[in-house]
């Protein structure tokens, strides 16, 4: 029998603690959501839309969607309409990453993340500066500033006896949402084959916040390290091993290791292992010079796999002005 109620938050008189940042399986295909320094890596406007369902079949399990956009601040040649760009004729290669030049970039992100009795809506803007170290390597620094609305939804929480629980009734009668200003920063080193980045979110924690709330959202600093290298295998294939390390005190480190293989820089398959959490299978392709698509399936290996059939994530990329 399926369990129809799932507790994600622990309700107590001292507050509520829960996961704070959304999780993504296809971070490798849009590293801007991991590190603000990756904004403007491509010389066009990069738009990404994504939806994620985690722990399928579990009621009130995490649901995440986001919209991101980033672009370098460079002069563009006026684009001439070309109908052939709408339809691909054979494999469409990945866009090139150009290095060795100084540039500025802007970006923006909009996230909606719902998990258990919590909902978080965040909007942020990003500025990044790219400094050439050599002709083949560039170091960028990005900063992100945004505001998030963090809400506790009482009707989604599980309470054994809410009628006689005076602490709970007092708790939910107070303000149950808080707006928090978030500051994030990141360094990102990249070339045509190499990438390595260090970033942190929630640097100001809840120092700047509005709405007095009985809910303790306990905003914590999240640190991330990402890295990988693309190897050529013959003329048609590339292999990219990569890793993502996440840390939020006082929880243990979270480590993802991935291996991606691409055919003619057009069609890709990948597998990933998230330590003690999930094994992930991914695939995608460049549909045309304008669109790219990716899908991933998370097979849960933690104890929750007895009530969940896994998770799904789909990512659509739009390359404007490529």
pLDDT tens profile 312-321: 999 999 999 9
Residue 71 maps to a domain = yes
201 within domain boundaries = yes
**Residue whose entry in the numeric block shows the structure tokens 């995440």:** 64
Structure tokens that stand for 201 in this block = 């979110």
The 10s digit of each residue's pLDDT in 79-121 is: 555 555 555 467 899 999 999 899 999 999 999 999 877 899 9
Maximum pairwise Cα distance, the chain: 70
Q: Is residue 128 part of a domain?
A: yes
pTM of the predicted structure, to 2 decimals: 0.85
Q: Which domain holds residue 196?
A: 27-320
Query: Domain for residue 69, yes or no?
Result: yes
Report the DSSP beta bridge partners of residue 43: none
Which residue stretches of 122-271 are H helix?
166-173
Q: What are phi and psi of 155, to 5 degrees?
A: -70, -15
Instruction: Please report whether residue 8 resides in a domain.
Output: no
- Distance, CA of 183 to CA of 136 (rounded, Å): 30
Q: What is the CATH number of the domain that holds 108?
A: 2.40.160.40
Residues 6+ apart with CB under 8 A from 54: 23, 61, 62, 63, 64, 298, 311
Give me the number of domains the chain comprises.
1
The answer to the question of residue 6 being in a domain is no
| Nearest alpha carbon to residue 148 among 172, 112, 114 | 112
Asked if pLDDT for residue 15 goes beyond 90, the answer is: no
How far is it, in rounded angstroms, from Cα 68 to Cα 125?
A: 10
pLDDT for 251 equals 85
When pLDDT is averaged across residues 283-293 and rounded to a whole number, the result is 96
Q: Is residue 53 part of a domain?
A: yes
Lowest mean pLDDT among 1-5, 67-71, 173-177, 303-307: 1-5
Q: Tell me: the pLDDT tens digits for 146-156?
A: 999 988 877 77
Q: Per the structure block, which two tokens stand in for 87?
A: 């339809």
Confirm whether 15 is domain-assigned.
no
């Amino acid at each position: 029998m399926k369990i129809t109620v799932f507790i994600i938050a622990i309700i107590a008189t001292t507050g509520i603690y829960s996961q704070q940042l959304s999780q993504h399986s296809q971070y490798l295909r849009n590293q801007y959501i991991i590190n603000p320094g990756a904004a403007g890596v491509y010389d066009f406007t990069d738009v990404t839309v994504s939806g994620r369902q985690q722990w399928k079949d579990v009621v009130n399990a995490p649901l995440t969607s986001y919209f991101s956009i980033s672009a370098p601040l460079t002069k563009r040649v006026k684009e001439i309409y070309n109908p052939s760009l709408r339809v691909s004729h054979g494999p469409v290669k990945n866009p090139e990453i150009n290095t060795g030049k100084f540039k500025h970039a802007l970006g923006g992100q909009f996230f909606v993340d719902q998990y258990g009795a919590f909902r978080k809506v965040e909007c942020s803007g990003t500025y990044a500066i790219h400094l050439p170290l050599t002709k083949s390597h560039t170091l960028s620094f990005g900063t992100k500033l945004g505001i998030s609305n963090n809400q506790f939804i009482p009707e989604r929480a599980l309470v054994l006896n809410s009628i006689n629980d005076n602490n709970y009734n007092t708790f939910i009668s107070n303000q149950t949402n808080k707006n928090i200003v978030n500051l994030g920063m990141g360094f990102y080193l990249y070339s045509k084959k190499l990438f390595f980045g260090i970033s942190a979110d929630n640097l100001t924690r809840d120092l700047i916040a509005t709405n007095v709330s009985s809910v303790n959202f306990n905003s914590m600093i999240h640190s991330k390290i990402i890295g990988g290298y693309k190897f050529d295998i013959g003329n048609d294939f590339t292999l990219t091993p990569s890793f993502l390390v996440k840390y939020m005190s006082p929880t243990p480190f979270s480590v993802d290791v991935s291996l991606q293989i691409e055919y003619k820089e057009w069609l890709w398959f990948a597998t990933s292992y998230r330590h003690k959490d999930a094994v992930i299978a991914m695939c995608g392709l460049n549909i045309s010079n304008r669109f790219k698509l990716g899908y991933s399936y998370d097979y849960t290996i933690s104890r929750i796999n007895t009530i969940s059939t896994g998770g799904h994530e789909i990512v659509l990329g739009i390359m404007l002005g490529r």
